[in-house]
Structure formats: structure tokens, C-alpha cells
Structure 1
Amino acid sequence: MYLRAVHAESSIQALFEFIKANPLGVLTTAISSPSHPFIQSSHIPWVLDEISDDPEAPVKGRLRGHMARANPQSKAMIESASNTTKLEQDVMILFTNQYHHYVTPKFYTETKPVTAKVVPTWNYAAAQVYGKATIYYDSAAEETAQYLSRQIDDLSKMCETSIMGYTGRDGKPEPWSVSEAPERYIDIMKKAIIGIEVTIESIGGKAKMSQESGEGDRQGVIEGFNGLGSDVGAYIAQQVKERGEMKDADAQSRKNPIS
């Protein structure tokens, strides 16, 4: 990921929060195989276990997920990790914010009328993780059974409460629980999936929200997105405002450091 300084998010804790708010990540692997494509990607919802927000920590957290055993990417990983359960190759997981949008040059109300030196772009936010993967694929192994049981319980609870808002409090419905499904059915389903645990050894991210533009153009972008009259437009407008204020505050602090 190209992390231009003005867009880069330096706080690991902020990146953790971003992942928890946008848990559907794209797992990408590059594995030599006689039977499967070298580069493969799959969308997977992840549970994040935080360990450290110290940039120097060798492992900053763990991401737990699972995917269909029939997925060709699963087959390539099983093939590669068949003797150790651990992939030799690094894996990458990309998380993106659900809200992103094209930015028309018409929004740059300061620069466009004066020089016309403006071009379209796209506003978005993303986080990217690199690490090592352990693959839980032996359905007869107790380690696999324990991992998958914990994983599907934690993932279901996270999605039911954080995404659906089913908390059982303040008039909200009770969250669905894995225990509501027949045990035998869940056992069959677990045999059709493999577990994936990725150690977060490197993490980076960006919020590209027009903060590279001057104050006048940023205000034009804010007004332009608010004028769309959509939830996405309102969200992007607010992000442009907040990120612009953060950029200006940072520039001011560099200009006038506290002695």
C-alpha cells in the first residue's frame, strides 16, 4: 500500500479500531502450486485479538478467521502447510471502509476556477496487514476442533452484537448463538471449513480524505459531498472535515512547537 505521509495513519490502536469496525478483510496468498493459481484472494470476516500497539513489537495482534475447505485457496494453503500447519509464505489481509466515493474536480471550488489544474480522485480508507498464517485443517485433530469452536462462537457474537446491535438490552433482540443450532449440524459444518490464524507482524493504513488539498478546496469537497444528500456523502464530508482539521492542527504544532 502506498502510504503518502499526509494520508498515512500512524496509530496502531486506530488501525485496530478500523479493523474491528470493518472486519471483512481480503486474504491474499502467493503460493506456488501445480494445481492452483499462484495468487489467490478471498473475502473473510476476521476476529481481532489485540496484543500490542507498540510499533516495535514483533507481533502486534492476531486475526482469526475461517474459510470453506472447498475453496481453491484453502486447498493451496493445505498443500503448502501439510507437514507443519504453518505457511512459509507471508500472507496479506486488506481491510477497506464501506464508505468510499469518487471525487469530481467540480468540488475544488478554489483551484478549479483559478487555474483549472485539478483532476478526479477517489476518497477512501484502508488498513493492510502482513503476517504468518497457521492453518487448522485436520478435522480429526483436537487442536482444530478447539480453534474452530472458539472462532465461530467469537465471530458470531461479534457480528450479532457489534454489527446487528442485538445485545438483549434496551429493547434490542437477543443475539443469535451457535448453541441454538443442532450440535450435530454444527459438527458437520465445521468439517467443511478450515481455520486460519494470522499473526500481525506489520500493519499500515491510510485515510485518503482530501487532506492533501488546501482549505478552500476541502471546504468545496465538504459542501459537494453534503450536497449529494446520501449517507455515503454525509460520511465522506465529515471525514474530510475531521482529517483536514487534524492536518491543520499537526501543521500548526510543527510550526509552533511547545518549548
Structure 2
Amino acid sequence: MYLRAIHAEQRIKPLLDFIHQNPLGLFTTAIPSSNHPLLQSSHVPWVLDTISDDADAPIKGRLRGHMARQNPQAKAILEALQSSSSSSGEDGGEGGVLSQEVMVIFTAQHHHYVTPKFYVETKPATAKVVPTWNYSAVQIYGTARVYHSTASRGTSEYLGKQMTDLTKLCEGEIMGYVGEKGTKEGPWEVEDAPERYLEIMKKGVIGIEIEIERIGGKWKMSQEMGVGDREGVVEGFRALGTDVGREISECVRVRGEMSDEAKKG
């Protein structure tokens, strides 16, 4: 990811908060294989365990997710683990560690095309403007531990907790179901499904746990533009009259003010 200084967020806590608020991440691996593509990506919803918001901490957090065992990316992962365990003489079924670094990219829900018509200062003066796209994103790099043994108690426990925690996050913070259990406002819980069914479902997935070793992100929200053009962007998005337009408008305003304050300091 290109982290231009004026767009980049250097603080760790806002980056981790962003992941918590936007848990669906694009999980990418680069695993050499004669049977599968080198580069593979899958959209995976993650649970974030924050460890430290210190930029110098070796591990900033931990991502916990799962993916279908039949996913070609999962097959490449299992093939790599099998090859590694065979060469080392270790079993590796309980929780093998991928030797290749992995990456996950998270993108904010709201993003939008920016028309040059919003640049109310520069466009009339020189016409030297071009379209762009405003968005926010965070990327992490780290080491992945994979829980894949269908006979392992540790794998079953990992998947059980991950699914429970992910469900609580999605039902409560995303869907807003925080009422009493069993009511219309109450959340669905993993325990609502039959135990035998859950055990079958767990055998069809693998668990992935990533230690976040590096993290970076940006809010590309017209900070590079002059105040007049930026105000045009704010008003232009607000005038769209849509939820996305209002969200982008406010983000452009806030991030612009933050950028202006940083320049003063």
C-alpha cells in the first residue's frame, strides 16, 4: 500500500480500532506450489485481540479467523504445512505455522469517486484537476498459525471460541442486537445451533491466527488539496444527499482539520 505522508495514519490505536470496526479483511498468501496459484486471496471476517498500541512493540495484536477447508487457498496452506512437517519430522497438526509472511487488507465501508467538479477553487482557475477516489484502508503483515486437525481437541476449542467471539461481535456491534436473548432484539448465539451440527461445521473449516507484526494504514480524504478545494469536496459530498455522501463529507472535514493542525505543529 502506498502510504503518502499526508494520508498515512501513524498511530497504532486508530489502526487497530479501524480493524475492529471493519472486520472483513482480504487475507492474502504467497505460497509456492505446483498445484495452486502462488498468490491467493480470500475475504475473511476477523476477531481482533489487541495486545499493544506501542509502535515499537513486536506484536501489536492478534487476528483470529477461519476459512472453508475446500477453499483453494486453504488447500495451498495445508499443502505447505504438510511439506514443512514432513521435512522437519514434526506432526504440525495441532497448529502449524506458515513459513511465508501473510497480509490482510481492511477497507472502510464508505468510499467514493471524487469528481473534479468538487474542486471549486482550482478547476475554475487553472482546470488542472483530475478525478480520484477517497477511501480508508489498513493493512497488516504477520505470521499465521493454522489450526487444521479434525481430530485435535485444540483445533476444536480454537474454532469454537473464534466462532463464538465473531458471532458476538457481528450480532452485537454490527447488527445491533443487544436485547434479551430469545426476543426480537436479542442476538443469535452459536449455542442456538445443535451441538452435533456445529461439530460437523467445524470439521469443514480451518482456523487461522495471525500475529500482527507490522501495520499501516491511511485515510485518503482530500488532505492534499487546498482549503478551498477541500471545502468544495465537503459540500459536494454533502449535497449528494446519501448516507455514503454524508459519511465521506464528514471524514474529509475531520481529516482535513487534522492535517491542518499537524502542519502547524
1:42 matched to 2:42: yes
**Partners of 1:36 and 1:251 in 2: how far apart?**
48
Q: Deviations over 1:137-187 (max 9, x none)?
A: 111011101100110010011100010011116x97111111110000000
Q: Equivalent residue for 1:110?
A: 121
Instruction: Give the conservation status (yes or no) of the 8 Å contact 1:165–1:172.
Output: no
State the alpha-carbon separation in 2 of the partners of residues 58 and 21 from structure 1: 23
Deviation at 1:227, TM superposition (A): 1.1
Contact 1:7 1:208 in 2 (8 A): yes
SS at match of 2:98: coil
Instruction: Indicate yes or no: 2:133 matched with 1:122.
Output: yes
Q: Distance in 2 between matches of 1:74 and 1:222?
A: 43
Q: 5 Å matches for 1:128-207?
A: 128-168=139-179, 173-207=185-219
SS of the residue 1:112 aligns to: helix
Q: Counterparts of 1:7 and 1:129 in 2: how far apart (Å)?
A: 17
Matched residues in 2 for 1:53 and 1:172: separation? 37
Are the counterparts in 2 of residues 100 and 122 from structure 1 also a CA contact under 8 Å? yes
Deviation (angstroms), 1:248: 1.1
Question: SS at 1:58's partner residue?
Answer: coil
Indicate the residue corresponding to 1:216 in structure 2.
228
* Amino-acid identity (%): 61
Q: Over aligned residue pairs, what C-alpha RMSD do you find? A: 1.0
Give the partner amino acid of 1:38: L
User: TM (normalized to structure 2)?
Assistant: 0.93
Partners of 1:180 and 1:210 lie apart in 2 by 46
> What's the CA shift string for 1:71-90, capped at 9, x where partnerless?
00000001111224110000
Alignment correspondent of 1:257: none
Letter in 1 for 2:189: S
Moved over 3 A (4+): none
For each residue in 1:12-35, what CA deviation from the matched residue of structure 2 results, as whole angstroms up to 9, or x when unmatched?
100111001100000000001111
Indicate the SS of the match to 1:160: helix
How many residue pairs get aligned? The number is 252
Structure 1 position 217, deviation (Å): 0.1
Aligned partner of 2:241 in structure 1 is 229
**Shift of the alpha carbon at 1:225?**
0.5
User: Does structure 2 retain, via aligned residues, the 8 Å contact 1:28–1:92?
Assistant: yes
Secondary structure of 2:122's match? coil
Q: How far does the alpha carbon of each residue in 1:22-51 deviate from its partner, in whole angstroms, 9 at most, with x for none?
A: 000000000011111110000000000000
State whether structure 2 residue 25 is matched by structure 1 residue 25.
yes
Q: 1:94-131 CA distances to partner (integer Å, 9 max, x unpaired)?
A: 00001000000010000000011111100000000000
Distance, in Å, in 2 between the alignment partners of 1:178 and 1:235 is 33
Structure 2 CA distance for aligned equivalents of residues 151 and 34 of structure 1 = 32
Q: Which amino acid aligns with 2:53?
A: D
Work out whether residues 123 and 208 of structure 1, in 8 Å CA contact, stay in contact via their aligned partners in 2: yes
In the alignment, structure 1 segments of 5+ residues that lack a partner are 255-259
Stretch moving more, 82-91 or 94-103: 82-91
Deviations 1:183-221, CA, capped at 9 Å, x for gaps: 000000000000000000000000000011000000000
The separation in 1 between residues aligned to 2:150 and 2:164, in whole angstroms, is 17
